[in-house]
Structure 1
């Protein structure tokens, strides 16, 4: 009996040791990982490609969710649709936080925010004003495009935003008013209207609040684990970043202007190569950037014609060509962005300010006028190069000069020379005329 009791105690002791060993080797659960990307500025083809790529990268990495920090005045409708399609078809939860304080989800930003699984805003932010406007003037489409076009654009936008809101279970009535009435609300009111789910001062606070909540992803309920999550930054590629930076009206204007000037310099001074290469690069960048903006082709013609007139001013020096070129540069800058493009949703007009156009045009015109006057002065001066430049130069006889020939040293070079009267070795001579490679000289009397 005693031996049996010892056996039981031995088994129990062995079990406790094994349990303690297993407990000691147990690994703590890994911290959840959340991808993060930033939409800052206008929605264009560059930022659209970036956000769509972020969804793909986060899915492939198997991360818990994708967090998007958003601050945008709006942008291109087709780029917005691409982002919305990526959010609605995502196989992981997409969380949008409008922040920090002072940020906005304007126009196209409303569509993107509503397409997320969970949305939050920082205090001091606002969302709304999704009514389409004319790209250049900021006018209602009815004023610049006609009633039928305005109704078509508005109804399409209403159907689009209503479908997004209903799919995500948000306030579809407010979403419709954001398009039809340009309604815009601050964060607290957006929460009360069920436009968003939370007001969070920071991204970390949003992730803590989202922890444990269930969202539907691809028709499957998913419970979020975002507390104390490790946030992995997803940076845009070089091409995406470059396209987003270039997609600015002022940048496109300057690129077209610089391209025109560099190509004009290359055409008027063949063989320099550097201006031609720089002009070609600027032209390619300008065309690439204009593909992401509603650029008016006629404005580009005005810009290039203005540059051509300024270049012509360098040769004519009339003043009229320079003035006309300056006017065309200003007009090209003002009308560079298409006056009415229904594919853009912005809460402010998309245009190049006169504060950019006027100083730039005046600077270019001033530089052209300066170069024109310098060229005119150069043309009035006596020619110092070539055959004509040798006339009047003084040299020294290296070999006795006579009507039958001789040799002189003029302007740092040895020349064949002739003279109507014999000139001795070492005498000083002056060049009277040049015929081919022979100088006609006279002796300089002491």
Structure 2
């Protein structure tokens, strides 16, 4: 009887586990990942691991809900590589209304198996920011070296009464695609154009508009993007998106796949502690602060060996800052200027130059901080730079004031301190030599004039341990008068 009960219990347990596994297998999911703000190393790490988790969990589709102004080229390409090689279809969805997929977001949208937007959203402005034109020049004149000649031709045509011909010439010039002002700009621009055209052709989307978005930084609304075959769907919500893409055929890394998105359970994967930590330390302002805390912590530890705490905190902060700089677009000339500025400021503290080294270091530090980041979407806050510079300036102004105060202060130790002090002759000097009472001590002294016991004397010099003194004039005259 006992055996029957045991076998019955095991049977029920096995049946329950089987039903549980079956129920879990029957639960079909769509994984939702959120891209919000500038795309950086933390974003790429979060998206790549999210897509891989969706693959491991057997999800039917991954939805990238985006609202981004753009970001780093390296981070964008990591995301796109993962999308293109993913066995799970990826649908990029610009949402909620009012969002945008600018710059890097446009590339990701083109790379996705499904490109979707919510109403009242936009995409475009995909020109690489590193190839920005000459400051102060209007956008319609950037990267057109022959513009001035065209303007001169237009003026000449107007003088000859041929305004129509000039207008046609100017229109043709405006229609010419942007090519870049120099070799480096052309290389970056043409690489970006080829990249986005390849993504467009892979999924059968409008490659000509994609090129225009790169060369001319144009934008489209959701409705216009659908009309121009830039996106596949305009959806009101995630549920609407899943309903509209059900049954569509998408091109995967190998072959094609028909989407089955009916009755999917949407599972949102939020950034874990690793992604949040990476997001914090790769913020340019935080990385900048970590670097400063690290450098000064190590300096304090070296100046006061044995404190331990400043050194430990400094090393940890400096390592975190170096890791952040490894994945951020750092201008090494800016970093070198920052380090030079810190060295000069430290040198001012140990070898005072009355402000030359200190304020030179502050200038180098500020300039280096401003040019430290190459990317427009990832730069250091000017108020933060100004605050650090002001604190440093105040510190060195305080040091200078202390130095000037010390120079004006009377010497209180050593041979120099003895000069000018007044004492009392202990006895009459014999042969111009005798002893004086000074500093509660009896000193051997000599004087070029006679000195009598009890006369106040003033120290005029010092030879070894013998003082050179002379009588105080007023007191000597008084004594002489009394003797007379």
Which protein shows a greater Rg? 2
Aligned length: 353
**Structure 2 partner of 1:108:** 104
Deviates more, 1:105-114 or 1:40-49: 40-49
Q: Does 1:177 align with 2:212?
A: yes
**Structure 1 partner of 2:447:** none
| 1:259 Cα deviation after fit | 2.1
| Partner deviation per Cα, 1:199-255 (whole Å, 9 max, x = no partner) | 23433332233334343433133232244x322222334343333333333333222
| 1:96 Cα deviation after fit | 0.9
In the aligned structure 2, how far is the partner of 1:356 from the partner of 1:138?
27
Q: Which of residues 321, 338, 359 is equivalent to 1:323?
A: 359
**Structure 1 partner of 2:129:** 133
**Structure 2 partner of 1:366:** 394
**Structure 2 partner of 1:259:** 294
In the aligned structure 2, how far is the partner of 1:381 from the partner of 1:65?
82
> Higher strand fraction: Structure 1 or Structure 2?
1
| 1:107 Cα deviation after fit | 1.1
**Structure 1 partner of 2:67:** 71
Q: Which of residues 49, 52, 55 is equivalent to 2:51?
A: 55
Map 1:20-419 → 2, pairs under 5 A: 30-134=26-130, 147-217=182-252, 218-227=254-263, 229-315=264-350, 316=352, 318-338=354-374, 348=376, 350-370=378-398
Q: Which structure 1 residue ranges, 5 or more long, are not aligned?
A: 1-25, 339-343, 385-418, 421-446
Where 1:169 maps in the other structure, the secondary structure is coil
| Partner deviation per Cα, 1:4-30 (whole Å, 9 max, x = no partner) | xxxxxxxxxxxxxxxxxxxxxx98994
Q: Residues 135 and 351 of structure 1 are in contact (CA less than 8 Å); yes or no, is this contact kept in structure 2?
A: no
In the aligned structure 2, how far is the partner of 1:40 from the partner of 1:85?
20
Q: Which structure 2 residue ranges, 5 or more long, are not aligned?
A: 1-21, 145-179, 414-440, 443-484
In the aligned structure 2, how far is the partner of 1:115 from the partner of 1:319?
56
| Partner deviation per Cα, 1:113-140 (whole Å, 9 max, x = no partner) | 1111112222332111111122899979
TM-score by length of 1: 0.70
Q: Residues 132 and 154 of structure 1 are in contact (CA less than 8 Å); yes or no, is this contact kept in structure 2?
A: yes
In the aligned structure 1, how far is the partner of 2:52 from the partner of 2:386?
44
In the aligned structure 2, how far is the partner of 1:337 from the partner of 1:136?
15
RMSD after superposition: 3.4
- Inter-CA distance 135–313: structure 2 relative to 1 (3 Å threshold): farther
| 1:99 Cα deviation after fit | 1.9
TM-score by length of 2: 0.65
Where 2:130 maps in the other structure, the secondary structure is coil
In the aligned structure 2, how far is the partner of 1:236 from the partner of 1:32?
22
- Inter-CA distance 204–361: structure 2 relative to 1 (3 Å threshold): farther
In the aligned structure 2, how far is the partner of 1:236 from the partner of 1:133?
28
In the aligned structure 2, how far is the partner of 1:199 from the partner of 1:364?
54
Where 1:231 maps in the other structure, the secondary structure is strand
Q: Residues 72 and 109 of structure 1 are in contact (CA less than 8 Å); yes or no, is this contact kept in structure 2?
A: yes
| 1:54 Cα deviation after fit | 1.6
In the aligned structure 2, how far is the partner of 1:238 from the partner of 1:147?
44
In the aligned structure 2, how far is the partner of 1:181 from the partner of 1:146?
14
> Higher helix fraction: Structure 1 or Structure 2?
2
